[in-house]
Amino acid sequence: MKTAALTKFRRKLAEDQPVFGMWITLESPSVTEIAVGLGLDWVVIDAEHGHLDWKEIVEHLRATVRSDTVALVRIAENNVGLIKRALDIGADGVVVPWIETAEQLRQAVAYSHYPTDGVRGIGGERATCWGQCLVEHTAEANENVLVVPIVETVRGIRDVPLMCQVDGVEVMFFGPADLSSSAGHRGQWEGPGVAEQILQAKDAIRRSGRHCGLLATSQENLRERQSHGFRMIGLGMDTGLLVRSIRSSLVAVGRDRAIQASFVPTASTVPAAPLTRPPESMRPDRDELMNPVGSGPRVEIARGVNFECLVGRHNSARNLTTGIVTLTPGAVLPYHTHTFTESITLLSGSVTIDVEGRSYAMKKLDNAVIPPGVAHAARNSSMTEAAVLHIAMATDTPARTLVDRFFTRRSMPDDATGIPGAERVNRFATAKRGVAGPNTEFIDCFNEDLMPGIEMSGGYGLFQPGGRLPAHVHDFDESICIISGTAMCIVEGRRYAMSDCSTALQPRGRVHYFINESKGPMEMLWVYAGPRPERIIVDERCATVEGNPWK
């Protein structure tokens, strides 16, 4: 046990200074040696996830000997045997996952302390210099050992105030991804509402005189977390930092790509080198337009159902109409059909989409896609709250035909995803996610591969701070609606700040990209007036005033 390192670690926290570290998942102790050489305050060696065995863990611990880097081991579960083993081989403390109650936390503390303060057994292993320093180690261990719980469930967040009353705990860590999953947003780092829950819990922990920690997702996020008051901040995981560095270099040479879960590259995931300029055949004949809510034409399409068109024929969009539909409490949009495909995404409130009698209860950001000729309806299932939808239609001349036919209603399961050959329902919590640029997360909701014969394509995009797309053009018009946060839209050097469902019309051929320059996440819904989500990547200079290819 490195008491000097632990003392320095605690002194920094007592002075409200941040302590920076990283998560170790790779087997080479050289990774930890690098962390030590760079002067990191701590490392967490991961024995919960991944492939590290105890022999590899002890080599990582050895790499921190005679340093000021505190070495912690994340065990697989709150288990007396696992905690004892990690401490016996020389860890300065343990990180205990999935702590949900104050009682579980008391158990972890007891497992980490020798009697009479706890129940840790005394072993003649590395921590006691193989039995040669029993008196010295057992005299200092209880006072110095670090026990760091990870709060990573909704239940755990609720019990934070009680956890703050448990003695022997100085720092509490958060696991945003598992917390998001427990809140119904599996696969997201911080799903809707999760960031706010973490900040509220952090404030409660800080008020109790303790400190909070978590992993940062980027350099911008690192600074943001420090400003929030988090003090034990991870620069990232070793693998994540390596991938981030490699991808940053690839972006510089126009070769960035996403890793596929299968590890098998495909033609669609290996982008071509950026073009020096867009093809002359794509020279645009219209300017981009930014359309804030309140600027578009409005129409009441049924009693209590109001549509504001933000992209459409009124502003010269081609083969595309998008906008916002608001349903007053209890309002019903009766059954109708279109001669084109329609996409419906729930932004807020409660909505049920009925398709030929099949009734889908929609959650926030769930998306339903209705093919041409398929009868469908919508109803606000709340009698007290309005519902807000984003809709997109594969036409610039929308029209509907009311259906005078009775459909027997049949409630579909909450995870139902539609009927092959008919409607497609994308459940936001479980949708497959990919990457379109650094610090981004994208969901493809509809395109020709997902729905053969469809006329348009579109989906959802999440941009963490610093997230951006490369400069690109399309061979069709595009609509981009910023549904949360603030986006910076850059079109050939012209900059537009967008928020609050403001919707951009990017005409065919205009060089553009989006970037999140704010300190919080940004979300968008994008729709292409083409069946495949294809981008033509061009040299970044084309997106500047000086390099504008069309001037």
Q: How far apart are CA 73 and CA 424, in angstroms?
A: 45
Contact 480/507 with Cβ under 8 angstroms? Answer: no
Is the pLDDT at 406 greater than 70? The verdict is yes
Q: How far apart are CA 480 and CA 510, in angstroms?
A: 14
Q: What is the rounded average pLDDT of the residues 1-17?
A: 97
Is the pLDDT at 125 greater than 60? The verdict is yes
Q: How far apart are CA 92 and CA 137, in angstroms?
A: 12
Kindly report, residue by residue over 428-470, the tens digit of the pLDDT.
999 999 888 889 999 999 999 899 889 999 999 999 999 999 9
- Ranges 79-93, 212-226, 379-393: which has the least confidence: 212-226
257 φ/ψ angles, rounded to the nearest 5 degrees: -155, 160
Q: How many CA atoms lie within 13 A of 237 on its CB side?
A: 11
Helix (H) / strand (E) element for 334: namely strand 332-337
Instruction: List the one residue out of 387, 384, 376 whose CA is nearest residue 350.
Output: 387
Is the pLDDT at 268 greater than 70? The verdict is no
Portion of the chain with pLDDT greater than 90, in percent? 86
- Position 267 scores a pLDDT of 46
Strand order in the sheet with 298-302: 298-302, 305-311, 321-327, 387-393, 342-348, 367-370, 424-426
Instruction: List the one residue out of 324, 331, 281 whose CA is nearest residue 305.
Output: 331
- Position 287 scores a pLDDT of 96
* 205 vs 260, higher pLDDT: 205
Residue 248: burial class (beta carbons within 10 Å; 0-12, 13-18, 19+): exposed
Helix (H) / strand (E) element for 267: namely none
- Ranges 53-67, 181-195, 386-400, 502-516: which has the least confidence: 181-195
pLDDT range class, residue 263, cuts 50, 70, 90: confident
Q: How far apart are CA 222 and CA 248, in angstroms?
A: 17
What residues form DSSP beta bridges with 368? 344, 425
Kindly report, residue by residue over 516-543, the tens digit of the pLDDT.
999 999 999 999 999 998 899 999 999 9
Kindly report, residue by residue over 331-389, the tens digit of the pLDDT.
999 999 999 999 999 999 999 999 999 999 999 999 999 999 999 999 999 999 999 99
Q: How far apart are CA 244 and CA 362, in angstroms?
A: 35
3-state SS of 277-332 is CCCHHHCCCCCCEEECCCCCCEEEEECCEEEEEEECHHHCCCCCEEEEEEECCCCE
Contact 527/456 with Cβ under 8 angstroms? Answer: yes
pLDDT range class, residue 213, cuts 50, 70, 90: very high
Q: How far apart are CA 234 and CA 217, in angstroms?
A: 9
Burial 347-371 (b: 16+ CB within 10 A, else e): bebbbbbbbbebbbbbbbbbbbbbb
Q: What is the pTM of this model?
A: 0.56
* 118 vs 421, higher pLDDT: 118
- Position 270 scores a pLDDT of 47
Is the pLDDT at 64 greater than 70? The verdict is yes
Q: Are strands 332-337 and 401-402 parallel, antiparallel or unpaired?
A: antiparallel
Q: How many CA atoms lie within 13 A of 431 on its CB side?
A: 25
Is the pLDDT at 251 greater than 80? The verdict is no
Instruction: List the one residue out of 113, 108, 106 whose CA is nearest residue 144.
Output: 113
Is the pLDDT at 272 greater than 60? The verdict is no
Contacts of 367 (CB under 8 A, 6+ apart): 343, 344, 345, 346, 425, 426, 428, 445, 446, 460
For the chain, give the mean pLDDT: 94
Is the pLDDT at 304 greater than 90? The verdict is yes
